[in-house]
């Protein structure tokens, strides 16, 4: 087989880099040797405190690998992915001849550039039978070696939603988290269109008064003063109502969390998200609290959180854990449902690709 043209390789990598990543950090870089694409991860682009064991970065890379595999198949190549650990390289994908998308994968491939986060309120309705069955089939397939549980009862949705917004409750009153959160906000449309790393303010779907307040909240002295009179709790309760409007929460669980597992979780999440998109469903990862609970175990965060914050987060994590029964350790939570289109979406920068001989 001859060399694949740089244009086709770029097409595969452009699909890879449209994958989701924490705060749209786009923590990847690509090296191409002959017909092999190397996936390099850049954990320094992610939020250092929340990125426990670089899990957020690895999950994003897993999602990008899933997209690349689908794009390669769509172009007629057979992608042979190998996870490796060599410097910053986490995986290689050799493109061989003779691939094609299977029946169920066509709709996933078509959804690659339609997929986006939707942080609006969703309509409080149950999932339709067909998407629900497809999603449950994926959850039980064990294709990626990770498990997932679908939470759907009203009471469980409300309690899970509130547990998840412990993230806001802690982040708005903790100086270090506050600093990291506001550092990653993009305030202008032009920065977003350029594909700069970060979260465009309009994608956060804040109600108008909160949007106005947000510019002041950026100032820690102001945020701290508000924290003293219970503002973070109020935000958390309001957001919980919004999150509970979902038809379901999906919780991705694992028995053992290691590097390969995180990459597989990324592939799994992207598969679920593309499937949801193909069914016209809205989707949002809501996993800050879970990441916070895991990162709090790390010795390096010892001085960042108070005992009160730790207790609050531990209790919230235990609520989610209780709802997944003995299925495993929750790593990612997402909400799923029906909504109108988001106000805006996040763009990507041109992927960093080095072609080497
Ligand atoms: C590991 C990981 C964690 C994430 N956590 C959250 C989260 O807690 N809340 C949220 O709204 N989005 C979360 N996201 C979604 C990203 O913010 C989103 O993918 C990114 O901003 C790009 O936007 P897009 O998904 O619309 O393309 C997460 C994504 C990944 C990969």
Number of CB atoms found within 10 A of residue 308's CB: 10
Q: Which positions ≥6 away from 290 have C-beta within 8 Å?
A: 164, 317, 320, 330, 331, 332, 333
143 and 41 in a single domain? The answer is no
Segments forming the whole domain that contains residue 78: 6-114+349-356
**Residue 98 shares a structural domain with residue 211:** no
| CATH number for the domain that contains residue 64 | 3.40.109.10
Confidence (pTM) = 0.97
State if residue 288 touches ligand 1 by the CB under 6 angstroms criterion.
Answer: yes
Nearest ligand 1 atom to alpha carbon 167: 8
Do both 93 and 179 map to the same domain? Answer: no
Of ligand 1's atoms, which has the minimum distance to the CA of residue 20?
19
Q: Is residue 344 part of a domain?
A: no
Give me ligand 1 centre to Cα 269, in Å.
11
SS3 state at 231: helix
pLDDT grade for 118, boundaries at 50, 70 and 90: very high
- Can you give the pLDDT at residue 93? 98
Residue 285 CA to ligand 1 centre (angstroms): 6
- 49: pLDDT confidence band, cut at 50, 70 and 90? confident
d(CA 198, CA 192): 8
Give domain status of residue 178, yes or no: yes
CATH value at residue 299: 3.40.109
Q: Are strands 36-41 and 28-33 parallel, antiparallel or unpaired?
A: antiparallel
Q: Where are the alpha helices (DSSP H) in the chain?
A: 6-16, 55-74, 103-110, 129-141, 154-164, 166-171, 175-183, 189-193, 208-217, 220-228, 231-243, 259-278, 288-295, 307-323
Does position 48 have pLDDT exceeding 90, yes or no?
no
**Are 134 and 110 found together in one domain?**
no
Q: Do residues 182 and 156 both lie within one domain?
A: yes
Q: Are residues 236 and 160 in the same domain?
A: yes
CA of 119 to the centre of ligand 1 (A): 10
- 138 occurs within a structural domain: yes
Model confidence pLDDT, tens digit, residues 284-311: 999 999 999 999 988 889 899 999 999 9
Does residue 211 register a pLDDT over 90?
A: no
Q: Is the CB of 282 under 6 A from ligand 1?
A: no
How far is the C-alpha of 63 from the C-alpha of 265, rounded, in Å? 8
Same domain, 33 and 108: yes
Nearest CA to ligand 1 atom 4: 22
pLDDT at 270 over 90: yes
The b/e string for 66-88 (b: 16+ C-beta within 10 A; e otherwise) is: bbbbbbbbbbebebebebeeeee
> Do residues 27 and 173 both lie within one domain?
no
Q: In angstroms, what is the span from residue 236 Cα to ligand 1's centroid?
A: 18
The pLDDT tens digits of the residues spanning 62-95 come to: 999 999 999 999 999 999 999 999 999 999 999 9
pLDDT confidence band for 144 (50 / 70 / 90): very high
pLDDT of residue 208: 79
Q: Is residue 123 part of a domain?
A: no
Mean pLDDT of the region 136-160? 96
80 and 180 fall within a common domain: no
User: Angle between the 103-110 and 259-278 helix axes, to the nearest 10 degrees?
Assistant: 80
Asked whether residue 53 falls in the same domain as residue 136, the answer is no
Q: Is residue 120 part of a domain?
A: no
The reply to whether 119 falls in a domain is: no
Per-position b or e across 29-39, b if 16+ CB within 10 A of its CB: bbbbeebebbb
Tell me if 122 is assigned to some domain: no
Alpha carbon of 284 to ligand 1 centroid (Å): 7
Domain presence at residue 241 = yes
Provide the number of structural domains found in the chain: 2
Residues 69 and 213 placed together within one structural domain of the fold: no
Q: Both 227 and 145 in a single domain? A: yes
Q: How many CB atoms lie within 10 A of CB 204?
A: 16
């Amino acid at each position: 087989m001859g060399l694949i043209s740089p244009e086709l390789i770029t097409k595969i990598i452009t699909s890879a880099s449209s994958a989701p990543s924490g705060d749209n950090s786009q923590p990847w870089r690509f090296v191409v040797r002959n017909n092999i694409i190397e996936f390099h991860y850049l954990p320094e682009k992610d939020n250092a405190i929340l990125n426990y064991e670089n899990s957020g970065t690895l999950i994003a890379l897993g999602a990008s690998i899933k997209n690349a595999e689908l794009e390669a198949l769509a172009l007629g190549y057979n992608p042979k992915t190998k996870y490796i650990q060599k410097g910053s390289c986490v995986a290689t994908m050799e493109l061989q001849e003779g691939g094609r998308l299977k029946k169920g994968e066509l709709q996933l491939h078509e959804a690659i550039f339609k997929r986006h986060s939707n942080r609006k309120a969703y309509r409080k309705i149950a999932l339709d039978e067909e998407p629900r069955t497809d999603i449950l089939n994926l959850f039980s397939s064990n294709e990626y070696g990770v498990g997932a549980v679908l939470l759907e009862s009203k009471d469980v949705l409300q309690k899970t939603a509130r547990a998840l917004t412990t993230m806001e409750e802690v982040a708005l009153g903790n100086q270090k988290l506050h600093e990291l959160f506001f550092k990653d906000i993009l305030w202008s449309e032009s920065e977003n269109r350029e594909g700069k790393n970060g979260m465009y303010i309009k994608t956060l779907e804040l109600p108008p008064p909160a949007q106005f307040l947000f510019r002041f909240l950026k100032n820690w002295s102001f945020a701290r003063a508000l924290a003293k009179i219970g503002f973070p709790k109020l935000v958390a309760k309001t957001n919980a109502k919004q999150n509970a409007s979902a038809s379901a929460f999906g919780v991705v669980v694992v028995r053992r969390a290691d590097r390969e597992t995180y990459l597989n979780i990324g592939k799994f999440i992207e598969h679920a998200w593309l499937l949801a998109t193909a069914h016209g469903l809205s989707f949002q990862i809501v996993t800050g609290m879970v990441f916070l609970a895991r990162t709090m175990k790390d010795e390096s965060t010892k001085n960042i959180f108070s005992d009160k914050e730790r207790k609050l987060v531990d209790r919230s994590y235990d609520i989610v854990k209780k709802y997944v029964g003995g299925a495993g350790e929750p790593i990612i939570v997402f909400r799923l449902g029906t909504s109108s289109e988001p106000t805006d979406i996040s763009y990507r920068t041109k992927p960093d690709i080095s072609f080497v001989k």
